[in-house]
Structure 1
Amino acid sequence: MNSNKKLSMKIAITYLLFVALLTLFRSGVSGILSLYYVEKGMENHAISSIKSFQNIGILVGLLPAGFLADRIGRLKVLMFSSWVMATSFVVMLISNSQLNFSLAEMLYGIGLALNSGILIAYISDLQLEKNVFLSNQTIGRRTTVLNISTLIGGNIGTFLFARNYNLPLYFSITGLFLYPIIILGWTHLMEFKDNSSINSLKKTNFYKKDKFSINKLLLHVSIINLIFEIGIQFIMVYWSIYFVQKLNFNLSIIYTLMLLSVIFGNEIYVLGSKKRSNHMLVVISAFLMTISTILIGILENKIGSLIFFILFELCTGIFTNAVHVLQNQALLNQEKKSKTLSSIDFFTEIIIIISLQFINVSIEFLGVKIMFVISGCLFATIIVKEKLNLKGRKIKNGI
C-alpha cells in the first residue's frame, strides 16, 4: 500500500510538473504578442490577420498529432511540440514582415496542436501500466497549477517587455528548448518510460481501415466541453473591451481578479468533489455560469457586473476541473487515446472558428450586452445535456 502511494505521488508530481513548466514558458510570450507586433510596426487590422494563422496551424497540427503519439510515443511528440513552439518564437524574433509573422503564428499553432491531449493520454496509460490511479482531487489540481503558471509567466513576460520588447521571446525560447531536456531527465529519475497506444504496439498495416470508436462517457464529456468552448469564445475576446474600455476598470486588476477567481474555483472543486459527483458539479457550475453571464448582460451597475464576472470565472474553475476529471476517467477505457483526443480537438477547433465568425458578425448588430445573454443561454444547454445523460444512465440501469 505504501509503495502504491509513493508511485501515485510520483505520477501526480510528473503530471503537474509538466503542465506547470510548459504553461510557464508559453505564457511568457502569449500575453504580450499583440503588443509585440505593434512594436514591430504592424497595424491593428494586420495583427488580426496574423493571429488567424494560429488557428490554421492548430488545424494542420491536429491531423498528425494523435497518429504520431499513438505510434512513436507520447513524450516524443510532447518534446517535439515544445521545439516547434520555440522555433516559432525564433521566427518572430528575426521577422519584420506580416508574412513572416503569419508563418510564425501558424508554426506556433502546429506546436500547440501537437501537444493537445498528449500529456493526459500519457498519464492515463501510465496509470494503467502501473495499476495506480490518481484521485479526482489530484487531477483537479491541474487547472490550479495551470492558472498559477499562467499568472507567473504572464507577469514575467510583462516585466521583461517593459525593459525590452524582445526579452519575453528570449525567455520563452530558452524555456521551451530546455523543456524536452527536463522531460528526459525527470522521467529517467522517476524510472518512467515513454508510452504509445497499446494497440499500436502491434504491427499493423498502415492502409488497414481501423474502426474508429469513442466510448459514451468521453463522447458526452466532449459534447459538453464543446458547448462550453462555444459559449466562452465571446467572453474571452470581449471581456477586456467591456470591463476596461466601457466600465473603466484597470486592466491588470481585472486580469488578476480573473485568474485568482479561477484558482479559487479550482480549490472549491477539490473540496466539493469529496461530497458531490463530477456530473453534479458540472450542473451546478453551468447553472451559475448561466445566471452570471445573463445578469452581466442585463445589469447596468458596474460593480454588480464585476461581481458576477468574478462568479463566472470562479465557476469556470469548478467546471473545467470536473470536465477534466471526467475526461481522465473516460480515457482509461478508450483505445487509441491520442488519436481520439486529436480528432475531438480537430472538430472542436473547426466549430470554434465558425463560432468566432458568427460572433464577429453578431456583435455589430446585437451589441456586447446581448452577446453575454446569448453566452448564458449556451451554458444552460450544458445542464440539459447532463440531465439527458443522467436519464439515459437511469434507464440503462433499470432505475
Structure 2
Amino acid sequence: MDLPFIDLAAQQARIRDDVDKRIAAVLNHGTYILGPEVKELEAALAERCGATHVISCSSGTDALILALLGLGLRPGQGVIVPSFTFAASAEAMAVLGSLPVFAEVDAATYNLDADGLPAALSAANAQNIEVVGIMCVGLFGQPADITRISAFADTHGLWVLDDAAQSFGSTWKGQQAGTLGRVTATSFFPAKPLGCYGDGGAVLTDDDNIAEIAISCRVHGQGRDKYENERIGMTARLDTIQAAILLSKLSIFDDELAARQQVADRYQSLLGGKITTPPLAQDATSSWAQYVIQLPDGTDRQAVQSRMGAKDIPTAVYYPRPMHTQPPYLRYPVAEGGLSVTERLAGSVLALPMHPYLTPEQQEQVADALMSSL
C-alpha cells in the first residue's frame, strides 16, 4: 500500500488546472515580487479571519521575527514560550538578542499550560530578566487556551503573540486563528494545512503600528520607497508565484478543514480507549495539521515505528527533543520546577498519517498496524 504521510499529490490533482492558470498569469505579467496576487492573497486572508492587517512574508520564521519587531522586542528582554515546539518559536527571539523563557505544556493538548506561566515568570524574575510577552503555539492544529493565557498576560502587562504556524484555520470560542493574540504569525510551508510550493508566511494583526513596522521591515526597513530606510529590516517578501498557489489552495481550504476533522473523528473511533488520542478542547476547533497520539509508558517508540514501517505505514515524531535541552538553548531560563510534562511527551508522542484525502480503509490499516506493533 502506498500511503503517504501527507498527500500533496492528491490535493494538487484536484486544483492543478487552476494552479497552472494562476502561475501562467504571473509569468505573463512578470511581477514576480510583491505582484498583484500578493495583495489579493493578503485581502482574502484578512477577510477570512477578520484581521485588519495581513502582511505576507517569506516564511513562518520570518513572520515571527517581523511580529516581534512590530511589538518592539528589545535585546535582553524575555518572552515566555513552550519548550515543546519547533525551533523557530524560540529561535525568533534568540536571533533578535532577546531571551526565550521556556514554559510547560498541557499533557493533553500539547499547548502552553496557563497554570505553568507563573513558574516561567518567576524563573525569569529570579535572573532579573524583564519579561514583556508570551508566545503561545497552536501545536498540531489546536489553538492554545488564549482566554486564560491572555488573562495572565493582562494581569502582568504582557503582550501575546500567537504562533499559528500549524493552527491557521482553527478557532477559539468561535474566533478565528489570526485574531487571537495582539499579533499572529503563520506559516505556508508545504506540509501545513494551508501551504504553498515553497516557503511562505504571514503576519496578522489589528494593530496599525505593528503592521506598519512589519511592512517596513519586510523590505529592509524601507520608508516611502525601498531606497529610504527608516529602520533595520530584512528581506522577507513572499514570491508572487507562491501567492498565486495559495489563492488556489485557499479556494478549497474550508472543505479540506472539514475533511481533516472527519479524519480525526475516524481515528478517535478506531483508537479511542485503546491508546491516548488527542482531545479537542471544548472551546476549540482544530486544523489538524498533525494527528499525534501518546504511546504507553515504557514503549520502545523506534521499534513501533520500525514495525509500522515494515507494514508500509509512515509515522513521524514531533518533537523528539525539547528546545530547552538543545545545545544552543541551554543557557536560557526554564520554568521553576522543570518541564517534566514536556520531557515525557518528547519521549512518547507519535504522529500518524494525517491529510484530507485519507480514506476510511487507509485509516483502518493505520490503526491495525499501530495496535499490532505495540
Give the TM-score, by structure 2 length. 0.22
More helix by share: 1
More strand by share: 2
Give the TM-score, by structure 1 length. 0.21
